[in-house]
Amino acid sequence: MKKRVFVMASLLVLSIMVAAQVVRAEESMFVNIPFAFTAGQVTLPAGEYRIQKFDSSSGVLLINCLDPSTPVMVLTFAAQANAPQSQSKLVFNRYDHRYFLSQVWRAGSIRGRQLSKSPREKELAQVARTETKGEITLVARLAPR
C-alpha cells in the first residue's frame, strides 16, 4: 500500500515537472537587438523583439519587432546541445557588418532551433575573410508569467 502511494506521488510530481517544461517552451522570449539583421529572407531593423514558436509542434518561429509591425515567420529545424543552456539566447553569424540570425536557445533546455543559411549568407560566407567573420550571442529574457 505504501509503495503504491509512493509510486502515485512520484508520477504526479513527474507529470507536474513535465507540464511546467511544456508551458515554459511556449513562452515568448524578448531581446534587444542593437543591429539590423537578416532572419530567413527578411532584413529587420535594430530594436526590441519578441520571438516565439508559432505553435508547440511547429518548426516555425514568429519574430516580431515591438514597434508596430507585421511578424516575420521563419522556418527552423531542431538543434541540440550537449548540456542544458544556462541562458535564453539568440546566436547570429556576422560577416563584416552583416548579421544573420542562426540559432535560438531557451534556458534550461538542450534543444534549440537552427535557421538555414540564406543564399545571401552562403555567398557572404564564401567571400568573407577570417577577420571579418564571427559569431555574436545576445541574451534574451523570457516573458513574465
Residue 79 main-chain phi, psi, to 5 deg: -130, 150
Taking only the tens place, the pLDDT of each residue in 16-30 is 443 333 334 457 999
Residue-level pLDDT at 14: 40
Closest CA to 63 of 55, 109, 53: 53
Residue-level pLDDT at 32: 95
Dihedral over Cα of 26, 103, 105, 49: its sign: negative
Q: Mean pLDDT across the stretch 60-84?
A: 89
Which residues are within 8 A (CB) of 134 and not within 5 positions of it... i.e. 6 or more apart?
93, 94
Q: Residue 95: is its pLDDT beyond 50?
A: yes
Residue-level pLDDT at 29: 94
Residue-level pLDDT at 17: 41
Residue-level pLDDT at 1: 63
Closest CA to 145 of 65, 51, 33, 26: 26
Residue-level pLDDT at 134: 87
Residue-level pLDDT at 20: 39
Half-sphere exposure (CA, 13 Å, Cβ side) for 54? 13
Which residues are within 8 A (CB) of 61 and not within 5 positions of it... i.e. 6 or more apart?
51, 52, 53, 54, 73, 74, 76, 104, 113
Residue-level pLDDT at 11: 41
Give the alpha-carbon dihedral of 67, 97, 93, 73, to 10 degrees: 30
pTM of the shown model: 0.76
Going from N- to C-terminal start, the domains of the chain cover: 27-142
Q: Residue 110: is its pLDDT beyond 70?
A: yes
Burial class (CB in 10 A: 0-12, 13-18, 19+), 24: middle
Residue-level pLDDT at 28: 92
Taking only the tens place, the pLDDT of each residue in 116-138 is 999 999 999 888 776 678 888 89
